[in-house]
Amino acid sequence: MSERTKLVCVTHCSNLLGSINPIREIADFVHARGARICVDAVAYAPHRAVDVQAFDVDYYVFSLYKTYGPHYALMYGKYDLLLELDPLYHYFYGRDKVPGKLEPGNPNYELAYATCGIVDYLVA
């Protein structure tokens, strides 16, 4: 890392080796140098409890199909950081429209509703 580093992207878990990265330690290191951290959890989320606040990550992403859900992506972001992002939708869709401004178009209602069953399944 250098003083020019703005964003560090890291996997939470290797799907090849099974190694789990110490995300909180990495986040502390990154934040101490003034950068942000984005974690790809596609190989971690299906197998372990996720606590983004304990990890102190800025962004956390994975695919719901890995957790028995539909082919839908999930992105957590700290609210103040999400407000800074430009809209993906339309230029007139304001920065304050979180999370809608980050959806590339109209939501797929069938896929969105299908995600409800994930929690029921995992809690059972």
DSSP state of 13: B
- Cα separation, 112 vs 124, in Å, equals 21
Q: How would you write the pLDDT of the chain (124 residues) with one tens digit per residue?
A: 999 999 999 999 999 998 999 999 999 999 999 999 999 999 999 889 899 999 999 999 999 888 888 888 889 999 999 999 988 877 777 888 888 888 777 778 888 888 888 877 777 6
Which candidate, 30, 74, 24, places its Cα nearest to that of 52? 24
For the entire predicted model, the pTM comes to: 0.87
Would you state the pLDDT for residue 27? 99
Would you state the pLDDT for residue 62? 93
Q: What domains can be seen in the chain, in order of their start residue?
A: 7-123 (3.40.640.10)
Would you state the pLDDT for residue 106? 74
Would you state the pLDDT for residue 82? 94
Specify the 3-state DSSP secondary structure of 74: strand
Q: What is the CA radius of gyration of the chain?
A: 16
Would you state the pLDDT for residue 50? 92
Q: In what order do the strands lie in the sheet with 7-11?
A: 7-11, 36-40, 59-63, 73-77
